[in-house]
Amino acid sequence: MWERVLDRAGIQEPEARQGYTAQRQAVRRFAPAEYLAARLLLPAPLQPDVVVLVAFMHETDDRIDRGSLPEREEALQRWQALVDEALSTGTSSQPVLQTLARSVQRYPALRARVQAFLGGAAQEAAWEHFGTEADVEQYIEGYSLPALMLSMGLLAPDGAAASDEFEHACLALITALQRIDFLEDLAQDLQEGRIGISDQALTEHGLTARDLRAGTPEADRVAQLITRQTDAAAASLEAAQPIVGLTARAHRPFLRAVLRVQQLRSAAVRKAGAALVARPCSPSPIRCAAVLLQELVRGTVPFGARRQRRT
């Protein structure tokens, strides 16, 4: 199956095929759900490039997410230099960058996406806490959105106006996704000393970060905070719904599945409520798999046949 995907993507050189295959195996290990969605629902010619972009994003995050602030910033500078060299020369000692350079050659517009992502990564390296909701929004727009657009940019429609509208919908999507991420990871983030909920939001509920520890007597306030944060994510997710109609028909099953899985994630954090301070949560894997299967089946039925059954 994967060999056929490489054929359809026009990747014939043995070394290149090995490189994309290695990145595919890595993504399948660290992001199995995202990998499955891409493999089932994205057009085959896009799959190798999406895989390497996800691998590159993961490698970047991993490199700048450890150590003190100066260590994280130094790691980002070293990584930026390696990326620049790979994109300039087309070669790299880093397997993910070697394959990334091939994808940039295949899609030259990716070069700007990569640089925008690395520019925003300075915010990720420096992030320790958010003072205000505006700080959260700045982080999402400056780092999370460029990260999303690495791969979503391949799905963008032609034309400046349509592309801008698509990216606006992507901003709404990543705002929802990032807020849900912060809630799902709240227990772990509390242990590590930095959380994705702003001081402003905490203060509005009479809380501090210290009050979020499991076992404190603030469960009702924490539950209200989680509800308010989930409401904000749900509103952004609703604003992202037009994204499906803004792209090519071949990309719509994937985007519909992404939106539906985020709805499941949002429902799961809402249900968990104050318990999120003690343990992470996630939606039912069976329900997520059902979403992918439904979109896969839907995509294999001719459009005219679907419409006939509804009449």
- Write out pLDDT tens, residues 128-167: 889 999 999 999 999 999 999 999 999 999 988 899 999 9
The number of distinct structural domains making up the chain is 2
Chain mean pLDDT for the chain: 92
Domain final position from 126, 157, 188: 126
Question: Which contacts (CB < 8 Å, 24+ apart) does range 178-182 have?
Answer: 178/139, 178/140, 178/144, 179/136, 179/229, 179/230, 179/232, 179/233, 179/236, 180/230, 180/233, 180/262, 180/265, 180/266, 180/269, 182/229
State the residue range of the domain holding 272.
Answer: 129-303
Residues 175-206: tens digit of each pLDDT: 999 999 999 999 999 988 889 999 999 999 99
Same domain flag for 202 and 111: no
Question: pLDDT-derived band of residue 25, with 50, 70 and 90 as boundaries?
Answer: very high
Same domain flag for 100 and 248: no
Same domain flag for 194 and 152: yes
Same domain flag for 25 and 55: yes
What pLDDT is recorded for position 300? Answer: 57
Q: Is 208 a domain residue?
A: yes
Same domain flag for 12 and 84: yes
Q: Is 267 a domain residue?
A: yes
Question: pLDDT-derived band of residue 308, with 50, 70 and 90 as boundaries?
Answer: very low
Same domain flag for 280 and 136: yes
SS3 state at 92: coil
Q: Tell me, what amino acid is at 21?
A: T
Domain final position from 126, 158, 179: 126
Same domain flag for 42 and 136: no
What pLDDT is recorded for position 215? Answer: 67
Q: Is 285 a domain residue?
A: yes
What pLDDT is recorded for position 78? Answer: 96
Same domain flag for 227 and 271: yes
Identify the DSSP state of 65. S
Rounded to the nearest 5 percent, the helix, strand and coil shares of the chain are 80, 0, 20
The region that residue 280 occupies, defined by phi over 0 for left and psi between -120 and 50 for alpha, beta otherwise, is beta
CATH of the domain at 211: 1.10.600.10
